[in-house]
């Protein structure tokens, strides 16, 4: 039974890593499930504190993944209310046009929202690039979290 749980845990970690790029897969939560599966084995017992810290990491990264593109829009392009809303709408609509939609969607949404806020094209492009930078930063955060979970998994197995 332990071998099956370890194999399922490895599959969850690999799937979680893929989920850092593919928005239809929630990367860090799936990788966290791999840690839970490892914890359920007889040979490995992660501490409750470590599991709760990892869960907190998952929650923070998942929330930041939606907020950071809007912050990038706001601070890089000085986007207003509609630029932030456009980023969120573009992110949601972009999920239907994978894989490029998830990258282009927030950019286009921020650009269109910024123009609705009354900005000229240069300022609107800055808002769009801020959204793109925020998306890339969120992706890096997801990779870091999943990389940490993989490290914990391997550390406990060795």
Alpha-carbon span 145 to 110, nearest angstrom: 27
Written in H, E and C, the secondary structure of the chain is CHHHHHHHHHHHHHHHHHHCCCCCCCHHHHHHHHHHHHHCCCCCCCCHHHHHHHHHHHHHHHHHHHHHHHHHHHHHCCCCHHHHHHHHHHHHHHCCCCCCHHHHHHHHHHHHHHHHCCCCHHHHHHHHHHHHHHHHHHHHHHHHHHHHHHHHHHHHHC
Please report, rounded to a whole number, the percentage of residues in the chain having pLDDT higher than 70. Answer: 97
Count of domains in the chain? Answer: 1
Structure tokens at 55: 């869960």
Asked whether residue 22 carries a pLDDT value surpassing 80, the answer given is: no
Per-residue pLDDT at 11: 96
pLDDT reported for residue 109: 86
Instruction: Write 62-65 long-range contacts (CB < 8 A, 24+).
Output: 62/26, 62/28, 62/29, 64/138, 64/141, 65/138, 65/141, 65/142
**Domain limits at 41?**
2-157
Supply the pTM of this predicted model: 0.79
Which tens digits make up the pLDDT trace of 41-59? 988 888 899 999 999 999 9
Per-residue pLDDT band at 77 (split at 50, 70, 90) = low
List pLDDT tens digits, range 90-132: 878 887 887 778 778 888 888 888 888 777 888 888 888 887 8
pLDDT at 33 over 80: yes
| Residue 147 confidence (pLDDT) | 95
């Amino acid at each position: 039974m332990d071998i099956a749980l370890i194999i399922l845990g490895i599959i969850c970690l690999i799937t979680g890593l893929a989920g850092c790029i593919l928005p239809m897969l929630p990367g860090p939560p799936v990788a966290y499930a791999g840690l839970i599966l490892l914890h359920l084995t007889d040979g490995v017992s992660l501490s409750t504190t470590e599991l709760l810290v990892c869960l907190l990491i998952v929650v923070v990264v998942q929330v930041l993944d939606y907020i950071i593109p809007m912050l990038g829009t706001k601070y890089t392009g000085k986007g207003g209310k509609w630029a932030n809303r456009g980023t969120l709408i573009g992110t949601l609509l972009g999920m239907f046009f994978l894989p490029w939609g998830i990258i282009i969607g927030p950019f286009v949404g921020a650009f269109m929202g910024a123009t609705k806020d009354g900005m000229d094209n240069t300022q609107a492009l800055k808002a769009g690039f801020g959204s793109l930078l925020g998306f890339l930063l969120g992706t890096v955060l997801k990779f870091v979290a999943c990389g940490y979970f993989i490290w914990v998994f391997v550390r406990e197995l060795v």
